[in-house]
Amino acid sequence: MSRTAWSAQDQAPPRDEEQRLRELGYQPVLARRMGGFGNFAISFSVISILSGCMTLYGFGLSTGGPAVMMWGWAGVGLFVLCVGLALAEVTSAYPTSGALYYMADKLGGRRWGWYTGWLNLLGLLGAIAGIDYGAALFTGAFLNLRFGFEPTPGSTFVIFLCILLLHATLNLFGVRLVSVLNSISVWWHLVGVAVIVGALAIVPDHHQSPSFVFTEFVNDTGWANPFYVAAIGLLLAQYTFSGYDASAHLSEETSNASVTAARGIVRAIWVSWLAGFVLLAGLTFAIQDYAGTQQSATGVPPAQILLDALGTAGASALLLVVIVAQLFCGNAEVAAASRMVFAFSRDNALPGSALWRRVSSRTQTPVPAVWLAVAVAALLALPSLYSATAYGAVTAINVIGITPAYAIPIYLRLRAGKRFQPGPWQLGRWSKPIGWTAVCWVAVVTVLFCLPQSSPLTVNSMNYASIALAVVLALASVWWYVARRSYSTPAAYGNAREQAEIAEGIV
């Protein structure tokens, strides 16, 4: 991208975003109290390298080991940046809470929007489950270190429910609190990574060699083909690099959203890309006992790395840093998912839409949507009570739900050609090559993460992400025939019936 193009984007004058929202068909009802940094912060918090990298680190140790984790992170990050750039361009043209499904609807038609919305919703709700369950696992590991607590599936699930309740409560206070927490989260993550990596670099007497960190390949999956194993191992990076559509979902609550929401997506990805590489390298260099790390009594391999390298006191302190970061991440994801529920219900796409689109007159927050988001996330994590591999399935659900939803509006924007009217943030002549790269990458990873992750295949080792995807698409297809007459994104705000319905949704 030329320097001139970047300058044109960064210096674009502020638009009347409320008027722009009316042009897109919606009467503003949410409070526009979030600035540019807050919008970047929510996507950065949802990506959360201290959540994704840490919770799936044990998965990475078995599916390719250090080599796949390090080089996979570098390669996946580059492709995800292409997806983010292309998505940011479309977001600039359509800055609404509906985000991906609204873009697909306007560029491809009602059915495109309908299925994009259901995929996006599946991914966002799966992300809440994955993030907060990961935080519960780390909380259990901390309690194990400090108090000898033995984490069980049942106790971990109770911790998970408590975390969901905390996040629901915080989100009921309004977007200003969410924005403040996300801004704190940015610095907490960056300083936290620096402290963790610094401690792991300085304190231990022994470190792994660079050849181990960047070339050691480990296969504990049961599959014989190393290329297949390496491909599956990319889930660690791809799962972490998701959720950056949060900037788009909060655009109706962001000042100058046509520029700042697009910019927030891109900045969140490249900052996470750099910081995440440093974190993974720091952890891998500090491994003292590979097998012992995989079989940690804490249930969380990164906790064992910290314990072996720093002792109980140091490990406990740094685990708290990680847990707080994960709590920030889950809170931001609940905000993004609830806005998606609100927007999808505003267009009558969900069962019970009249309830889920209601907004509190006091906080201007979609309260019922918040509760629905955390309730469904709790249901998605229920299999963890019975299956040790359920957490990997939940993270895969997040990836195969949300990642295709990113690509659909990008593909439709490319198909539209000159009919697409870009917003003030655009890619110029780089739009097509970056866009097609993004679409092809998403097609690959969507197939990849539907594949079995371990062998032999059993009820417990089955990858249920593909089944979850099929169930959601089937539900969306059935519900389409029920709701297709009522579902609609408005062409322009001003219709008296639409105004009345929105007014009825404010309580």
CA distance 89 to 429: 12
34, pLDDT greater than 70: yes
Say if CB 179 and CB 331 are below 8 A apart.
no
Residue 206 has φ and ψ, to the nearest 5°, of -115, 135
Task: Report the pLDDT value the prediction gives residue 392, as an integer from 0 to 100.
Answer: 65
Rounded to a whole number of angstroms, the distance between the first and last alpha carbons of the chain is: 46
For 228-253, letters b (16+ CB in 10 Å) and e give bbbbbbbbbbbbbbbbbbbbbbbbbb
* CB-count exposure of residue 3 (10 Å: 0-12, 13-18, 19+): exposed
Residue 381 CB coordination number (10 Å): 24
202, pLDDT greater than 70: yes
Task: Report the pLDDT value the prediction gives residue 507, as an integer from 0 to 100.
Answer: 40
247, pLDDT greater than 60: yes
Say if CB 369 and CB 341 are below 8 A apart.
yes
pLDDT over 70 for what percent of the chain?
A: 91
Residue 173 has φ and ψ, to the nearest 5°, of -85, -5
- Angular region, 122: left φ>0, alpha ψ -120 to 50, beta rest: alpha
Higher-scoring residue by pLDDT: 17, 252: 252
489, pLDDT greater than 50: yes
Residue where the block lists tokens 């993030």? 131
- Range with lowest mean pLDDT among 16-30, 54-68, 379-393, 484-498: 484-498
pLDDT band at 213 (very low <50, low <70, confident <90, very high): very high
pLDDT band at 18 (very low <50, low <70, confident <90, very high): confident
pLDDT tens across 315-353, in order? 999 999 999 999 999 998 999 899 889 988 988 888 888
pLDDT band at 10 (very low <50, low <70, confident <90, very high): very low
Question: What are 64's strand-pairing partners?
Answer: 218
- Write out the two tokens for 14: 């502020």
pLDDT tens across 412-433, in order? 999 998 889 999 999 999 999 9
CA distance 21 to 16: 9
CA distance 85 to 74: 17
pLDDT over 90 for what percent of the chain?
A: 47
pLDDT band at 5 (very low <50, low <70, confident <90, very high): very low
pLDDT band at 361 (very low <50, low <70, confident <90, very high): confident
* CB-count exposure of residue 422 (10 Å: 0-12, 13-18, 19+): middle
| Nearest residue to 417 via CA among 24, 107, 89 | 107
For 298-336, letters b (16+ CB in 10 Å) and e give bbbbbbbbbbbbbeeeebbebbebbbbbbbbbbbbbbbb
CA 46 to each of CA 143, 146, 359, 458: distance values in angstroms, whole numbers, following the listed order: 25, 28, 23, 32
- Report the largest interatomic distance among the alpha carbons of the chain, rounded to a whole angstrom: 72
Residue 486 CB coordination number (10 Å): 10
| Nearest residue to 266 via CA among 3, 37, 43, 11 | 43
Residue 34 has φ and ψ, to the nearest 5°, of -110, 135
- Range with lowest mean pLDDT among 12-26, 78-92, 99-113, 169-183: 12-26
CA distance 171 to 152: 29
277, pLDDT greater than 80: yes
170, pLDDT greater than 90: yes
**Taking the mean position of all CA atoms in its chain, how far away is CA 277?**
18
pLDDT tens across 112-122, in order? 999 999 988 88
Q: Return the C-alpha torsion angle 375, 376, 378, 379, nearest 10.
A: 130
Residue where the block lists tokens 């390669």? 75
For 25-48, letters b (16+ CB in 10 Å) and e give bbbbbbebbbebebbbbbbbbbbb
CA distance 156 to 78: 35
Please calculate the CA angle 56-400-405 and round it to the nearest 5 degrees.
125
CA distance 232 to 95: 34
Which residues, 6 or more positions from 96, have their beta carbon under 8 angstroms from its beta carbon?
A: 21, 24, 26, 102, 248, 251, 252, 343
Say if CB 413 and CB 89 are below 8 A apart.
yes
Residue 209 CB coordination number (10 Å): 10
Question: What are 218's strand-pairing partners?
Answer: 64
* CB-count exposure of residue 155 (10 Å: 0-12, 13-18, 19+): middle
Task: Report the pLDDT value the prediction gives residue 252, as an integer from 0 to 100.
Answer: 87
pLDDT band at 496 (very low <50, low <70, confident <90, very high): very low
Q: What is the mean pLDDT of residues 24-49?
A: 85
Task: Report the pLDDT value the prediction gives residue 4, as an integer from 0 to 100.
Answer: 36
Omega prior to 456 cis, within 30 of 0? yes
Q: Look at residue 335 and give its three-state secondary structure.
A: helix
pLDDT tens across 431-485, in order? 999 999 999 999 998 888 778 777 777 766 677 777 777 877 888 899 898 888 8
**Taking the mean position of all CA atoms in its chain, how far away is CA 2?**
29
Q: Look at residue 64 and give its three-state secondary structure.
A: strand
